[in-house]
Amino acid sequence: MQLYSLTVDKLLDHAAKWCSQQQVVTASSGHISYAELRQRSNLLSGALAAVGLSAGDRVGTLAWNTQHHLEMYFGTMGMGLVCHTLNPRLTPAHLTAMLCEAEDRAIAVAADLMPLWAQMAPHCPTVEHVIVLDTPPSLNTAPDPKRRYWNYEALLHSHGKASEWGGFDENTPAGLCYTSGTTGHPKGVLYTHRSNYLHTLRSLQADAVALTSADSILLAVPMFHANAWAFPFAAPAVGAKLVLPGRALDGAHLTKLIREEGITIAAGVHTVWQGVLDYLDAEGGDVPTLERVLIGGSSCPEVVLQRMQDRLKARVQTSWGMTELSPLGTISPARGKGPAIASGRPPLGLDLKLTDANGTSLPQQRNVMGHLKVKGASVVDRYFRSDVDVLDKEGYFDTGDLASIDDQGNLSICGRSKDLIKSGGEWINPAEIEAVIGGLPGVGLVAVIGKMDLKWGERPLLVVEPQKNRTLDEETLLRALRGKVADWWIPDQVIQVKEMPLAPTGKIDKIRLRADYAKA
């Protein structure tokens, strides 16, 4: 058989040839066809080569979901550079640490993030070129003796040149994404062309994301977060219309895009869609073209799931994944009449197993809780710059999650092993408490953390954010737990907050909560 390297440039090549007039839409700058996107991305490769970048160099991106950012994806990867996405919601110190470890030679920065880059710039000696995105060609940048600044469109105009894409081994690095900058030293995951290509095929399976050329996708997952759930690859792979919202993810903006662009599939964390729900409730109207909503990140309370299905009249697909998995792990089916089932099943290409705390596989894998481990072609082997594999002797990666698997193979995440609370020598699982409280009327967001206790070591503390214009009775909250969890699991204290702290990925920031409330 032919040797056909699995490189991601082939995904955009396919879209440009067979779905050439299908559109990529950016809220702030309009429409472009896949054929035009391919041409511009390829010219960008030539421009990057002209300024001295070569295969293997890392190029950082500090940007939103826009056409320019998407062109940076393919323009860098197509010529063998590594696209290093950076999360602008992190602190300058964390971003600088990631950039310096990666030794990025260039960085592409959204114009409205230039003040953030200005804080980082003095501490990033490896960066030789700064490319300013999402601006007209006339924008001028301040001189900097240490590096060259380029306006994106001007760079494309002056140095853009048709380039040959691919031609390298499919195991060549393609992308770099760091898992977190809030839990200690950030860990980089280096994706290869092969892993991204195979992950794309995995996500496109009929029981998974199941995109087709008839779909119009609203990508509310940031492109700096875990490959944007691989939609920048999956959409061109099938020639689906791709709609990029830019920076704004408020309910009014997203609703407008859904209506104007005929969105059939929308993807993002559930807190984003709560904004859409609130807007629809306040302003009225519907989103009749919307067929499915894909959610991930932190677990979604059942009351919110039901509200989404009732108000949006769309199927809600729950999922679970990690940066280390590229990121899709499991997903509930794209079709069916019933509600989403837990976090769904793994598509072909990923295997799961449950172990005890010592890493020994549980003899019974169904209907028991264990430590979740995964294995597959798009799963991390070792972290960037590390010499040590993070796999067990059977080649499985420890996710750090506690989980169970039902008789049909559906995965339920039961919490993070690091979040378990040890009280009087016994373990309390915060996720079970959060699931009960999160389903109560008037509760917006909920988190349970361990608070230091002189007698018991730790005791659970319940933190809740009420829904807008709602008040919560603390005794009612605690009473709802009786009979649902063991009595000694019931928190000793309830704290109501006006606004729950969120981590840069949109999940509840338990690190911040512990810092604020965990001391005795």
Q: Annotated catalytic sites, by residue?
A: 179, 324, 422, 427
Distance CA(296)–CA(343), nearest Å, equals 9
Q: What is the 3-state secondary structure (H, E, C) of 115-139?
A: HHHHHHHHHCCCCCEEEEECCCCCC
Residue with tokens 């050329």: 213
Chain center to CA of 1: 36
Q: What SS3 state is found at 478?
A: helix
**Tally of CA atoms within 13 A in the half-sphere of 389 that contains its CB:** 9
Q: Cα 311 to chain center, whole Å?
A: 25
- Look up residue 498 and give its amino acid: K
Structure tokens at 183: 């839990």
| Beta-bridge mates of residue 61 | 85, 108
Phi, psi dihedrals of residue 224, rounded to the nearest 5°: -95, 5
Tokens of 264: 């059939």
How many Cα atoms within 13 Å fall on the side-chain side of residue 169?
4
Query: Beta 411-416 vs 397-405: how paired, if at all?
Result: antiparallel
Cα(267)–Cα(116) distance, integer angstroms: 27
User: Which single residue is written with the structure tokens 């070569």?
Assistant: 54
The answer to whether the beta carbons of residues 45 and 165 sit under 8 Å apart is yes
Q: Please count the other Cβ atoms lying within 10 Å of the Cβ belonging to residue 14.
A: 16
